[in-house]
Amino acid sequence: MFGKSFSEYVRFDKVILWLIAIVALGRLALSLGGVPNSTAKWVSVTAVIGLGVIYAAIRVHTTGFGSYKQLLPALWIQTMLGELIVAASIVLGIVTHKDNIFTAPEYSGNADGKTWLHAGAHVIAGAIVLPLLGWLIGSLILLVTKKVAPRDAGA
């Protein structure tokens, strides 16, 4: 992908990928453990993915990893991890017939979130819409970073 292997992207994203997994699974664990959704909602996968956009957009340039075209796959991997965990959590709700924070009506458009359409929408959004949106925002951050931050001389 744009001159880099999948494993190179995963190594580049390693810190943020771990953070996304910990937060997403932690949010699910809090919900399944009986913590009210009004409390568990503060453990935000969306916020961590947003931080990942900023992190990758700055780091792709400062480390010499690449530029705009390398930013897209880096963000795609981050987003897909988060959305696949969310989709799996929705499937868990479907299979167990028990709501969790990812299937609760207040986070599912005030409808039953335990549907295959809902799980599939997270996969589609994670594969197409969200990475492109993140890439647009990240590209602006990368543009500014290129103007103000030097590239790592050791890269």
Closest CA to 121 of 91, 78, 153: 91
How much is the CA Rg of the chain, to the nearest whole Å? 17
pLDDT at residue number 45: 93
**Residue 5 · residue 65 · CB < 8 Å:** no
> How far is the CA of 146 from the CAs of 35, 83, 141, 153, in angstroms?
43, 30, 9, 14
> How far is the CA of 4 from the CAs of 53, 56, 88, 91, 116, in angstroms?
19, 15, 28, 33, 34
pLDDT at residue number 154: 54
pLDDT at residue number 110: 86
For the stretch 119-122, contacts whose Cβ atoms lie closer than 8 Å and that sit 24 or more positions apart, written own/partner, are 119/87, 119/90, 119/91, 119/94, 120/87, 122/83, 122/84, 122/86, 122/87, 122/90
pLDDT at residue number 152: 61
pLDDT at residue number 44: 94
pTM check: above 0.95? no
DSSP structure string for 19-73: HHHHHHHHHHHHHHTT--HHHHTTS-HHHHHHHHHHHHHHHHHHTTS--HHHHHH
pLDDT at residue number 118: 92
Which residues in the chain land under pLDDT 50? none
